[in-house]
Chain A
Amino acid sequence: MTTAEALSCQELTELVTDYLEGALSPAERAHFEKHLAECGNCEIYLEQIRVTIRLTGTLAPDQLTPEAEEALLHAFRGWKR
């Protein structure tokens, strides 16, 4: 590490979510982005986290089976009476 504030790669991997969630302070963000600009490996890591999020987003929410939905609607009709 060249300066006291510089992040190591390991530290960066632990800050990735805070970075993506906008939870870093402006100073931390600056250190994060400085490291990223100089480190191809960490750039790959961050991109893989982004890909992971994107792929997870393509998983469909579980659908109710028609039977389960019908059972709930049956309960609804009972409640309405």
Chain B
Amino acid sequence: MQQVVSPDETKLIEALRAGDEQAFRELVRMYNSSLLRVARIYVPTQTLAEEVVAETWLAVLEGIDRFEGRSTLKTWIFRILANRAKTRAVRERRTLPLSAFEPERIQEPALAADRFRDWDDPRWPGHWAVPPTPWPEDRLLAGETRDKLAEAIDALPGTQRAVISLRDIEGWSAEEVCNALGLTETNQRVLLHRARAKVRKALEDYVK
């Protein structure tokens, strides 16, 4: 059986099994915010997400002695979370729309169609009608711009919000996001694409 657990994780796992509180604190600080972001895909409120994450940590502690290292510790923790969150979502009678994880079923362009010339335009079909204009650097650097950015991310549909947060805030790789959320590579990219396009649009509307 292939061991995929890194030396760092192995040390962490041993420390947890030995009851090292500092190791647990480290793990919590490493993953708690990402766990909350993923939980929010499944459950409707932040409070419920926090409960699901707390349950997940208990399940991690209860299961750590049986963890066999067939996946990374990170993947294992996020699988526990997904199972807990799904169970909770069912209990809360909230069913996810199928499309949440299969984004290509819905057409959703990066930009509104009226930003481009019509497809039957005699000279420049599909070229810019309303092109983007350069952003003033000083507006971008203002603290308020980052508040707008955070608002735009909060306003995204759950799965898009989780993908962009994990990729662009938490710095996860595409593969890690696919594993944690059970997404295909293509769907991960589509969700990231839509999320980034909407956040760019929000910045454009704000700085112009």
Contact: B109 with A59, CB < 8 Å?
no
User: Which chain B residue has the least Cβ–Cβ distance from A43?
Assistant: B132
Task: Report whether B203 and A75 are in contact in the complex, using a CB–CB cutoff of 8 Å.
Answer: no
B21 touches A62 (CB 8 A): no
CB neighbours of A80 from chain B (8 A): 19, 21
Q: Which residue of the partner chain A has the closest CB to B58?
A: A75
Name the one of A10, A53, A55, A58 contacting B116, with C-beta atoms under 8 angstroms: A10
Is the CB–CB distance between A44 and B133 below 8 Å? Answer: yes
Whether the pair A9, B126 counts as a contact (CB closer than 8 A) is yes
| B128 adjacent to A77 (CB under 8 Å) | no
Q: Could you count the A-B residue pairs with CB atoms below 8 Å apart for me: how many are there?
A: 126
A48-B132, A80-B19 are known contacts. Are A11 and B32 too (CB-CB below 8 A)? no
Query: Is A30 in the interface zone, CB < 8 Å from B?
Result: no
Task: Say if the beta carbon of B90 comes within 8 Å of chain A.
Answer: no
Determine if A69 and B28 form an interchain contact, defined as CB atoms under 8 angstroms apart. yes
Q: Which residues on the A side are within 8 Å of B199 (C-beta)?
A: 52, 56
CA distance A80 to B50 in the complex (A): 22
Per-position 1/0 for B165-191, Cβ under 8 A of A: 000111100100000000001000100
* Docked CA distance A42–B115 (Å): 12
Q: Using a Cβ–Cβ cut-off of 8 Å, how many residues does chain A contribute to the interface with B?
A: 41
For window 1-32 of chain A, which residues contact chain B by CB distance below 8 Å? 1, 8-11, 13-14, 16-18, 21, 23
> When A52-B199, A64-B28 are in contact, do A71 and B54 touch as well, CB less than 8 Å?
yes
- A1 and B72 alpha carbons, distance in the complex (Å): 48
A8-B116, A44-B132, A58-B146 known; A72 and B125 CB under 8 Å? no
With the chains together, A21 CA to B116 CA distance in Å? 24
List the 8 shortest-distance A-B pairs measured between CB atoms, nearest first: A8-B126, A17-B193, A41-B131, A56-B168, A61-B33, A62-B33, A10-B126, A80-B19
Q: Which positions in A face B, CB cutoff 8 Å? A: 1, 8-11, 13-14, 16-18, 21, 23, 41-42, 44-45, 48-49, 51-53, 55-64, 68-69, 71-73, 75-77, 79-80
16 contacts between A and B (CB under 8 A): A1-B126, A9-B131, A10-B111, A18-B189, A45-B132, A48-B204, A49-B200, A55-B140, A56-B149, A56-B153, A56-B168, A57-B171, A69-B25, A69-B29, A73-B21, A75-B57
Known: A61-B33, A62-B36. 12 other contacts (CB 8 A): A1-B126, A14-B193, A17-B192, A18-B189, A41-B131, A45-B131, A51-B140, A72-B32, A72-B57, A75-B61, A79-B61, A80-B19
